Each structure stands twice: as structure tokens, then as C-alpha cells.
A = this chain, B = another copy of it.
Amino acid sequence: MEYHAWFQCSEGCDEKYPLNEVIYRCRQCNGLLEVKHDIDLLRRRSGAAWKEVFNERYMRTQYPYGSGVWGKKELVCPNIDNENVVSMYEGGTNLFWAERFGNEIGLSNLWIKQCGNSHTGSFKDLGMTVLVSMVKQVVKRGGDIRVVMCASTGDTSASLAAYAAAAGIPAVILLPRDKVSHAQLIQPIANGAITLALETDFDGCMSVVQQLAERKDFYLANSINSLRIEGQKTISIELVQQFDWEAPDWVIIPGGNLGNVTALGLGFLIMRDLGIIDRLPRIACAQSAKANPLYESFQNDFKTFDPVTARATIATAIRIGHPVSVKKAINVLKKFDGIVEQATEDELANAAASADRTGLFNCPHTGVALAVLLKMVESRLIQRDDRVIVISTANGLKFPEFKIDYHQNKLKEVQPQHVNSPITVEPNYDTVMKTITHHLKTLN
């Protein structure tokens, strides 16, 4: 069966473009593009048959189908030849059963999807494998793409740099000089990306990258490129698969630029369209109170949306006041009886630390989602036996300062409730034993 997909304008005019065209907005109406699939063709296979295909491939050795993304290739990007796929075995991440944390907050069926346990340490790999594979295919077929580029200070640049390096395609990263630490940059630097520090702010970088993107030989990897959404939507397919194809009751996901919320929803919708699931979960989008335009819009039943000026937050990756995917995300949330909730700095840091004590190592964005979970339990929106999934978007190892500062009480606007510190003791049995005994009592 020859499945296929294409870009289509998502803002009214329905104009179509091939997926291998270097294009990000509709030439007719300037609307954002999205990837569309031939659903009728996909429906010729039953839901049960799709599940069987996906199960057979999952984490197996037949390249590239063992990848959690490429195992769902027909629903993601059927147009790419297998030999052009640039994959690092995406997905297949632990759906952590939060037994202890669930017990502590009164939930029996709480799960945390560890998307940060991936090649570059964040969920961005799920989308980047699709984008870079498309570029590789275009280049292989004689297309004139010389560079893949993005403006980003975090996970996107890390993921782009690694996939481009594996493919042997030059990557360019644009970022504001002096606003980015060496630790944030070390992944693209190590992967050999051409890393430009511009004497401007982030908006200035975006402006330059958009000018560069008018060249057909410079391919843009920022989230306006909807190929990435197609890979990211396998998050929902994979987590349903991990429950033997049963949809959960709630999914809570951190939201900044809102591409990930959109992708999550699209994954569930295509599964329902194909008869793989018969009901949808509800979705909660979790925002930082410092960058909460969707939360504000939700207070108004999404009747209006006003961008905000995002303020500094520990949850740096979702410090976004004017999210590029806001229209798509609102559409998705409406279909999922969705809600938007926010978390303060204090709430996100304490929620992350509280869950860490039960064996996790949460990034600050996961902290936002966990804080929202606590509020939803408190308000009874989530019930004791609901099956709830929290999407953990990045690896906590990317944020050592967040953890260190928390446990040293150095975070702004945070009163840490779960501090732990090394205890200095003399190196003899009696003193050590006495100290341990004392601390064991405090644990109980």
C-alpha cells in the first residue's frame, strides 16, 4: 500500500504542498501549514490490524521500525524512504508507575512518561528525526539544502545538532549572545554545529533566522515546521500502546510554544479515526504562571487570546508569551474537553522535589505539570482511581543547577519544602551510626 501525506494550509484556504518542498507558510494566505494524511487509505486497515503491526515492530531490530516514531511510519511520514531515515531509536521510554508518589497524593493509577530519556535528553528527538530524515532525502535526491538551522537556546538546538551530525548535514544554531550559558550550549557545540552568538535578544535571532529561511538552501527547524509535530504525536500512540491500547483518563503536559499539546492531541485523534481507540482522554495543559497566555485565554473559554510578555521562570523552555501553535492547540483542547492550569515558581519547584523523593529526577517543566496535577487532585477534577499520565518532557540531568539551588534554598520565589543536604560527620562507626539512627527516625 502506498500511503502518503502532504502539507496543507491549516488556516482556511486548504492549499496543498508536497512534504519535500522547503516551505513553512501557505503561499496563498500565509497560514501555518500542517501535515495531512490520506485517512481513507489508512482506514483500509482495521484498528486491530494497525495495533498488530505496531506491536510487531515495537523496539525490534528491523530498521527503522524499532524506533517508537518510525514503527508508526504510515501515520507519521510515509513519504520517506527507509534508507534516508536518520534514527536514534526514538521513543520506547519508560512509562514510570508513580506508585509511591501516587499513594502520597491519593491516586492509585498515576504514570509519568519519561520522554527525556532519549538520545539528546528531551522529547524533541521525536520530531527532529522526522525533520532531519526529510532533509536527508531531499539532499540525496539532488535537492539543494546546504544547512539545517534554528534559533534556540535549549532542547531544540541540542536535538537538531545531534541528528544533523549523525546525518552529516551542517547545522547552524542562532542564539542571543550573553543570554545563554555554556552548559546550555554544550550539546550543539560538542556535536559540531556552527553556533552563532548574535549581539541581540531572542526576538532578534528569530528575525535573522526568518530572513535566512527565505533561502531555499537553508532549511528551518524551528517549530513552525510542522514535520516535527508528526513525530511528536507518537507520544500518545506509544503511551496507549504501553497500556495495551487502552486510553487513559487524563494526560497532563507542560505547554509553552504549544506544539507538543497539539501533537499529543493529533496522536489521539488519528488513533480514534483509525479505530485503534474508542474514546479520548481529557488533556490538561500546564503553564508557568510567568508565561501563561493560554491559561488566561482559558479563563475566557478561549474566546479571545492575547499574547503576554513572558517573564523569567525556572521552567525556561516554556518561557513563551506568544506561542506559535496557539490556534492548533486551542482546537485540540476543545476536542478533548481540555483545561489549562498554571503553576508558580514555588509550586513547580516543590512539586518536582516532592516527586524526586519517590525515585524521579524531574526537570522544571515536568515540575509545572506535577504542580498542576496536585491542584487537579485538590479540586477533585482528578478522582482517586483515574488513570493519569504526566508527560515528562526532558531529562533532569539537563538541569543540575535547578536541583542544587533548590536544595540550597537559592531559588527566587521558592520556599523549599523538601530540602535534603549532606550531613558532615566524623569518620568513626559510633558517630556515623548515631547520625543514621537519628535521621531514620525523621523519615518515619
Rounded to whole angstroms, the CA-CA distance of A395 and B187 in the bound complex is 12
A310 is an interface residue with CB less than 8 A from chain B: no
Q: Say which residue of B120, B198, B357 sits within 8 Å of A427 (CB atoms).
A: B198
Give the size category of A's interface with B. 35 or more
Knowing A440-B147, A440-B194 are in contact, say whether A208-B432 is a contact too (CB < 8 A): yes
**Nearest neighbor of A195 in chain B, beta-carbon distance:** B422
Given A190-B420, A422-B185, A358–B146 Cβ distance below 8 Å? no
Q: A190-B420, A194-B440 are in contact. Are A427 and B168 (CB under 8 A)?
A: no
Contacts of A61 in B (CB 8 A): 242-244
Is A189 part of the binding interface, using a Cβ–Cβ cutoff of 8 Å?
Answer: yes
A88 near B359 with CB under 8 A, answer yes
A304 within 8 A of B: no
| CB-based contact B421/A198 at 8 Å | no
Name the residue among A165, A187, A194, A359 with the largest chain B CB count within 10 angstroms.
A359
A16, CB-defined interface residue at 8 Å: no
CB pair A429–B212 under 8 Å, yes or no, is yes
Task: Decide: B96 and A189 in contact? CB cutoff 8 A.
Answer: no
Interface pair B397/A208, CB less than 8 Å apart: no
Taking the complex as formed, is A1 at the interface, i.e. its CB lies under 8 A from any CB of chain B? Answer: no
CB distance from A203 to the nearest CB of B (A): 10
Complex: A408 Cα to B353 Cα, angstroms:
33
CB-based nearest B residue for A176 = B427
Selected contact of A100 from candidates B168, B182, B189, B426, CB within 8 Å: B168
Q: A195-B421, A432-B208 are in contact. Are A356 and B121 (CB under 8 A)?
A: no
**Minimum CB–CB distance for A90 against chain B, Å:** 9
Judge whether A29 is part of the interface by a CB distance below 8 angstroms.
no
Q: A358 — which chain B residues lie within 8 A by C-beta?
A: 165-166
Q: Which residue in chain B gives the minimum CB-CB distance to A180?
A: B422
Cα distance, A306 to B392, chains bound together (Å)? 48
> Considering the chains assembled together, what is the distance between the CA atoms of A96 and B166 in angstroms?
10
Separation of A194 and B433 alpha carbons in the complex (Å): 12
CA distance A58 to B58 in the complex (A): 9
Q: How far does the Cβ of A152 sit from chain B's closest Cβ, in whole Å?
A: 13
Q: Which residues of B contact A189 (CB under 8 A)?
A: 403, 407, 420-422
Establish whether residues A191 and B89, one from each chain, have CB atoms under 8 Å apart when the complex forms.
no
A424 within 8 Å of B (CB atoms) = yes
Chain B: minimal CB distance from A261 (Å): 25
Residue of B nearest to A408 (CB): B182
In the complex, the chain B residue whose C-beta lies closest to that of A243 is B61
Q: Interface 1/0s, chain A 158-202, versus B by CB < 8 A?
A: 000011011110101011010000110111011111111111100
A361 and B187 contact, Cβ closer than 8 Å, known pairs A166-B100, A194-B436, A398-B397: yes
Task: Find out whether the CB atom of B422 lies under 8 angstroms from the CB atom of A359.
Answer: no
Q: A198-B427, A429-B212 are in contact. Are A357 and B174 (CB under 8 A)?
A: no
7 pairs, A vs B, C-beta closer than 8 Å: A59-B92, A121-B395, A162-B361, A165-B359, A193-B420, A194-B443, A199-B425
